[in-house]
A and B are shown apart, each in its own frame.
Chain A
Amino acid sequence: MTTSVSATPAYRSPPGPLHAILLAGTVPLFLGGLLSDIAYYKSYQIQWNNFASWLIAGAELFAGLALLFALVNLIRAPRKSGRPMLYFVLLLLTWVLGLVNAFEHAKDAWATMPSALVLSVIVTVLACITAWVGLTTRQGGVQ
């Protein structure tokens, strides 16, 4: 009864708790920005535009910090190609497009529309995919 089941080691280290919180946090923040954009688009009520600006700024902060973690993980990863690289590139893309979106939101009143809304849709979808890829840990199994 001493057969030990030795799993093949995970091919990469999963994000630590702080990294995971930051990464996962981008999803509701970008999503909140998107919903606020939709509300502004439909109502012309400027406060939604303000909410969207701050939510996206918060998402950028989270995504930016997560990006640092991702970069460190990437450097440390024994095998850089594949998922670690995919995750890093996706997160970088999310952050860059999110920054463009933040600047788009810094325009006055309706000057933000519709580009800010379109960007928010793209960035939110991208954030979901990035978090999914980043938080999926495959332990064991044959690679």
Chain B
Amino acid sequence: MRQAAGPRPWTFYVFASFFALFVLFLYGPMTVIYILSFQGPTGGLTFPMTGFSFRWFHALVTAERVGDIGGSFQRSIVLAVIVAVLTVVLSVAAGLAFRRRFPGSGVVFYLAIASLIMPGLFVGLGIAVGFQLLGLDIDWYTSALGAQLTWTLPYGLLIMFAVLGRFNRAYEEAATDLGATPWERMREVVLPILLPGIIGVALFGFTLSYDEFPRTVLTVGTRNTLPLEIWAMTTNVTSPALFAVGTVTTIVSFIAIGAALISIAVIQRRRTRGSGNSV
């Protein structure tokens, strides 16, 4: 259990190999998909590769029997951005609220946890039936948006809890001492310091919405998001076009993740660059 520098115990190698296997387990299948999406024009859903081509990516764009990829992709992105923005604004506000004890804080907390744990299918069912009983149409930017928020807001809240827990309130007092109004305090001190956490919330909001399936499937109405199109493709499409979609959507995810992580890293490095000279 000693952490001091020195030769590593044999258990380290056991664990390390286990970890390596796990990473392989996680990334292996996805990598196969990426490779197979470049399947030759005559190839099938599995190996061997009959060639290397962009044919299946081409198929997505020309929408030959693969469904409404372009439209659903667009809707997914827009929805994800809306969800990300709303999640950030609402989670930050709610997180700040929880710094004090207020009547009803327990109710809101457990409501959020319950919303997190509840299988998406039921939430979707309730919203869909509810809308129907009220005579409203379900659509991707109304009922699906609300459904997705029940999934992202609890995550956002939990992240804010973690970030605010480490936040030193002396910064706020110092700001007050120097003459800041509550709004100036928020703008000049609290939010900038919390920025890495807020970026994390935005990342969760975006990716959770972009990939969301169970809540969305019942509440989206006639115009699908991308995960729903993919779901339909699993039953309809028997060509590597399915894999091509997988590759494209994963690239989008990676871009979002990369942007968030890089900006967080940049901010952190600027603020905690090594110690200066002595005295």
Q: Is chain B found bound to chain A in the same assembly? A: no
Chain A contact residues, CB within 8 Å of chain B: none
